[in-house]
Structure 1
Amino acid sequence: MKNGARFKAVVAAALLGLLLLSGCTPKGGEQTIEIRLGEVARTVFYAPQYVALSQGMFAQEGLDVQLATIPGGDKAMTALLSNQADIALIGAETSIYVYQQGAEDPIINFAQLTQKDGTFLFARQTQDSFEWEKLKGQNFLGQRKGGMPQMSLEFTLRKHGIDPHKDLKLIQNIDFANVASAFGSGTGDYVQLFEPQASIFEKEGRGRVVASIGVESGELPYTVYMAKQSYLNTNSEAAQKFTNAVYRAQQWIATHSPEQIAEAITPYFKDTDLAVLTSSIKRYKEQSTYALNPMIEEKEWKNLQDVMTSAGELKSPVVLDKLVNPSFAQQAISSNSTGNTEPPVKKSTTESTDAGVGAGGSS
């Protein structure tokens, strides 16, 4: 190759490299901020998060979000406390547990993703109609003691006059990540399942959804983005950008159909049928599971502590402002609104408030 041609080739390669690099740089020439995010499970329950990733909302804020699935709230919190994660998506109860232990660097909740329990009561045997009394004496494959799924279940059972530790044959020796597979292998008559696992099991003929724990237990900060106080103090810009993206994703979810949402999150559920994803999202939208904004409200915080008290897991009440920093959510809402600084009211993302699962239907 002649020197002139070689020089042109080198210049072209350099220009291509610059173009590729510029494509990864946020608008305004800002440097990309890396955030290590730990989620407690891979579930359609977290659809807004996957929308923020797949639709480039985090990237638009100049964030490079590195997502890792760390099964179990206790394990995800351990990752956060040991600085293996910057931000974690876990139940807000875990921040209270850390606070109760006298942490010098408390875990602060700063953006809510879901406002109801995301599990469904799943029965192995097909039933013409479901009554809570039918649970008495049955083998129930439970969740981890002190975790939100188990506490929400116990809260619901007591509301229906059932003592979970006396009236059920409760099985709690199976790790969170293995509960669904254990039920699929024949353990238990009843189990709590997140979507899309509930819909997958229905499709496989392993039983049916008979009730929604989310509808039964009410609104609470079920899954929340949280970080150490020290991290938020030194990385407030990153936390704000993160919350901005989450809020835009929540609004996107509210204005798009289950079919559109399913298409958007498919990259995170490559082994799940699109129809199952769609029906799972429809269930969650119909019962207003996804929060419409990242604010944690006082009534939700109170309900969370009522659930914890019912389970015997709350040593003493914790006021909202001890463990919740609303400033990031407030700023996200304000900067993305059109002259209205009031947070949107958290309400159903569809016209219907019926859970649509009384008969186990997923359509």
Structure 2
Amino acid sequence: MTITRRAFITAAAGMAAASAFPFGEAFAAAPEKKNIKIAVGGQQLVYYLPLTIADRLGYFRDEGLNVSVIDFQGGSKSLQAVVGGSADICSGAFEHTVIMQTRGQRMQAFVLQGRAPQCVFAANLHTMKNFRSAKELKGKRIGVTAPGSSSQIMANYCLKAAGIKPNEVSIIGIGSSSGAIAAIRSGQVDAFVQLDPVISMLMEKKEIAIIVDTRKVAESDRLYGGPMVAGCLYAPESFIRKNPNTIQAITNAMVRADKWIAKATPEQVVKVVPSSYFMGDKKLYIQSFLSNRPALSRDGLIPAKAPEVAKHALSTVNPQIERARLDLEATYTNRFAAEANKRYR
């Protein structure tokens, strides 16, 4: 078999181009849908840092995507955006995939952001100066980021452990940033579930007493009896089936962000995130990042026991979930994250 000089040069050029893309990215299938809307509830939270990093460092763009991140007050509202069709994908708590299946709407998580909830349940020392035990919260006002969000689920779960029923407290939505701090300091709530940087700011001034801290993976595992995973990206099953190349591209960007965060210095992180995330105190934001990094995913993979743990946690506040016949394996897939880990090591 002979080969012309022109054919040889063409083939050599093709091989050189392919070598510029690690792990065969040059041959990755094009996304079916390039313009994507991702809904998130409180993007400034460290909980959602992988999404911010992927967006700010251009990782979505590198995958051929034009991603718009739409920020809402809480996880329940970002979920509503996906259900209502104003967003394609939700960056939210994993347990929503279980909840939605009980409602006949199948959502599937495809890449993980958090290995533990990173939520802190704390008493407000402005209204409960002599606080000693969670049992004292019966009849009190409990703040959450938004009613129906994962923060309320954690509050109900912790209160149940203290022998308090959900109807024996008042649940109040206070957001997740400066508005939450204002509500706490003005005494609008007696206890609350919040995330960083809010928690670190309140801790510095000794304004709160921590009851449960799931920024610590071991403490979270003890509380929930296993891996209660947190932030993830999930979408309707039908969307994932129709757009597998798009989902792969998004997952590639998110896994790349997970790995960047695992190795980044605090100084590198604060150069990337918007200054508004600091809430006026860069030093405290750095402390928040360091406190939460152990609970962030390093590879985007979802543990096999996560759906079972999530169902059990949810059933402690909603008995109907315990009785429901669910296809827990359908709540997540590691297909895309596993492939992304081959590309980004």
Cα contact 2:307–2:331 (8 A) shared by 1: no
- 1:85 maps to 87
- 1:50 maps to 52
Give unmatched runs, 5+ long, in structure 2: 1-24, 222-226
Return the structure number with greater helix share.
2
Residue number among 303, 311, 329 corresponding to 1:305 in the alignment: 311
**Length-normalised TM-score, structure 2:** 0.77
What is the alpha-carbon distance in structure 1 between the residues aligned to residue 205 and residue 101 of structure 2? 43
Give unmatched runs, 5+ long, in structure 1: 1-25, 338-363
What is the alpha-carbon distance in structure 1 between the residues aligned to residue 209 and residue 61 of structure 2? 39
1:180–1:171: structure 2 CA closer, same or farther, 3 Å change rule? farther
- 2:202 maps to 201
- 1:329 maps to 337
1:1-363 correspondence to structure 2 within 5 Å:
33-42=34-43, 43-103=45-105, 106-125=106-125, 132-133=133-134, 135-137=136-138, 139-143=140-144, 146-159=148-161, 161-165=162-166, 170-174=169-173, 176=175, 179-203=180-204, 206-207=207-208, 209=210, 211-215=212-216, 216-218=219-221, 219-267=227-275, 269=277, 271-285=279-293, 288-312=294-318, 314=321, 315-337=323-345
Identity of paired residues, percent? 19
What is the alpha-carbon distance in structure 1 between the residues aligned to residue 249 and residue 47 of structure 2? 22
Q: What is the RMSD of the two structures over their aligned residues, measured on CA atoms?
A: 3.2
What is the alpha-carbon distance in structure 1 between the residues aligned to residue 342 and residue 129 of structure 2? 49
Aligned residue identity for 2:220: S
Cα contact 1:266–1:274 (8 A) shared by 2: no
**Length-normalised TM-score, structure 1:** 0.73
Cα contact 1:114–1:223 (8 A) shared by 2: yes
Which stretch of the first structure deviates more once superposed, 216-225 or 297-306? 216-225
Deviation readout 1:286-309 (Å, 9 max, x if unpaired): xx2211122211222221111011
Size of the aligned set, in residue pairs, is 305
Deviation readout 1:221-252 (Å, 9 max, x if unpaired): 32221112222122211111110111111111
Aligned residue identity for 1:292: R
Cα contact 1:130–1:210 (8 A) shared by 2: no
Deviation readout 1:42-88 (Å, 9 max, x if unpaired): 21221121111222222221222111112233321221122211111
What is the alpha-carbon distance in structure 2 between the residues aligned to residue 268 and residue 232 of structure 1? 33
Cα contact 2:215–2:291 (8 A) shared by 1: no
